[in-house]
């Protein structure tokens, strides 16, 4: 009879190149009183015991960890005899790990500690443990092209422990794309505020990218995306958002191919609220601005718009930024003639209406007689104000009453209508034109 004994040091041989170990009958003993058959039985029992020990040894090695907590890889970390299994989503040794999808989960036990650090700097990444210790995730987005180390520890009901270690590198900036978006999570914005993405790479796979960004409203309004070129994607409904509605934006771009050699890395849900409806109309014929709140006029304010030489754009413009005070330099927006340029270091109550430099702002340097009578600016809309922005002035009042996302409508100017991609001004496209720019 031929028996094959397997132990950790003597694994099951392959079909080629390995010799078998034969258990031979023991040599005859000269010990008195010992028969050959009894010695043969003892030899057989010894072989059986060795076989069982070998099987047990193999089972012990298969647990993925040692009695002091183990050093498992990729979800196999467990103490011998326990049922703990720790899974790290970013695989050990990965070189293109997600910057937003790193997670640690455990079964058969509870996570007691998770430490994630940047390998080179040693800086620890803050994280959040789920209630009950079933999972953990970073509290912040990881950096691209960075090597990280993670150590996760868990314990079961009987006090046995397990440890999981992994080292991974996040996807590089060269091979990934990110979209900077507005508005931010938790903000309250005006009824004209679109969702706007600006990608850091040229997107050629527009359909897949757009289909992995879902924008919904509690109002039930249909929301459609529109591409401005290959790096900007905006979303809006047909008409302004309904006042008080809740907007949810789900970004599921992690792993989505944006084009040749670039993959998305973002996975996030953003929520923001639409405030009251405020739409203000500026009439360049009368140099007056009528402010309507929820459809009712609350105030008429004298303004001074663009001069005949530098008229203000017509059209619907959305407030995209607000500054208590800012510096304005005409040379940065094309006014380079010494007789025409300007530099004002402390413009009060400034609200941006276009990327090219159109603002609605306080004006303390023009004579008060200008407001409500004539345009004297380089294309901006000025409201009477004082230097430093203090006091009860039209400029301060309107600034305090306005939200990012409020709409300013300019009419009766000799200038052209503002381009829809010059700021957040896509409302100047008809609904048909807007839908035609969708890739989905």
Q: Is the Cβ–Cβ distance between 4 and 55 less than 8 Å?
A: no
CA distance 382 to 258: 43
| Pairing status of strand 195-199 against strand 179-182 | antiparallel
pTM (global) more than 0.85: no
Residue 146: CB partners within 8 Å, gap ≥ 6? Answer: 118, 119, 120, 169, 170
Average pLDDT (269-297) is 98
**pLDDT tens column, 385-420:** 999 988 899 999 999 999 999 999 999 999 999 999
Nearby residues of 199 by Cβ (< 8 Å), 6 or more positions away: 177, 178, 179, 180, 209, 231, 232, 233, 258
**Per-residue model confidence as pLDDT tens digits over 234-262:** 999 999 999 999 999 999 999 999 999 99
Helix runs in 257-323, H state only = none
Of 197, 203, 198, residue with least CA distance to 261: 203
Q: If DSSP codes are grouped into helix, strand and coil, which group holds residue 306?
A: strand
Q: Tell me how far apart the alpha carbons of residues 241 and 219 are, in angstroms, rounded to a whole number.
A: 8
Q: Which tens digits make up the pLDDT trace of 15-45?
A: 333 333 333 333 333 334 444 444 443 444 4
């Amino acid at each position: 009879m031929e028996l094959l004994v397997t132990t950790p040091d003597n694994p099951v041989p392959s079909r080629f190149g390995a010799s078998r170990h034969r258990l031979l009958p023991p040599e005859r003993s000269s010990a008195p009183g010992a028969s050959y058959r009894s010695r043969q039985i003892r030899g057989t029992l010894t072989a059986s015991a060795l076989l069982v020990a070998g099987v047990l040894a193999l089972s012990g090695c298969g647990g993925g960890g040692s009695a002091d907590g183990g050093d498992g890889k990729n979800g196999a970390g467990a103490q011998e005899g326990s049922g703990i299994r720790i899974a790290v989503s970013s695989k050990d040794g990965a070189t293109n790990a997600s910057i937003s999808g790193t997670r640690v989960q455990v079964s058969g036990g509870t996570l007691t500690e998770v430490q994630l650090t940047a390998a080179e700097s040693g800086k620890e990444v803050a994280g959040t443990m789920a209630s009950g210790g079933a999972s953990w995730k970073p509290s912040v987005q990881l950096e691209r092209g960075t090597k990280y180390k993670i150590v996760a520890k868990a314990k079961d009901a009987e006090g046995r422990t397990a440890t999981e270690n992994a080292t991974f590198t996040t996807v590089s900036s060269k091979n990934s794309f990110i979209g900077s978006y507005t508005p931010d999570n938790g903000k309250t914005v005006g009824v004209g505020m679109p969702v706007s993405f600006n990608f850091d790479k040229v997107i050629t796979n527009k359909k897949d990218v757009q289909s992995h960004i879902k924008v919904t409203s509690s109002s039930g309004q249909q929301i459609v995306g529109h591409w401005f070129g290959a790096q900007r994607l905006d979303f809006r409904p047909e008409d302004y958002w309904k006042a008080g509605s809740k907007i949810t934006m789900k970004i599921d771009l992690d792993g989505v191919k944006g084009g040749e050699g670039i993959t998305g890395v973002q996975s996030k849900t953003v929520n923001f609220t639409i405030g009251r409806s405020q739409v203000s109309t500026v009439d360049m014929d009368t140099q007056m601005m009528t402010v309507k709140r929820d459809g009712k006029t609350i105030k008429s304010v004298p303004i001074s718009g663009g001069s005949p030489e530098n008229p203000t754009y017509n059209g619907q413009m959305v407030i995209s930024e607000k500054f208590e005070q800012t510096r304005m330099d005409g040379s940065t927006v094309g006014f380079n003639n010494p007789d025409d340029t300007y530099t004002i270091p402390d413009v009060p109550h400034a609200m941006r209406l276009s990327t090219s430099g159109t603002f609605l702002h306080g004006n303390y340097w023009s004579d008060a007689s200008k407001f409500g009578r004539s345009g004297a600016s380089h294309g901006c809309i000025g409201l009477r104000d004082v230097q430093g922005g203090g006091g009860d002035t039209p400029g301060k009042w309107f600034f305090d009453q306005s939200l990012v996302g409020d709409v300013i409508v300019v009419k009766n100017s000799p200038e052209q209508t503002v381009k829809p991609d010059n700021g957040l001004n896509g409302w100047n496209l008809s609904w048909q034109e807007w839908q035609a720019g969708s890739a989905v």
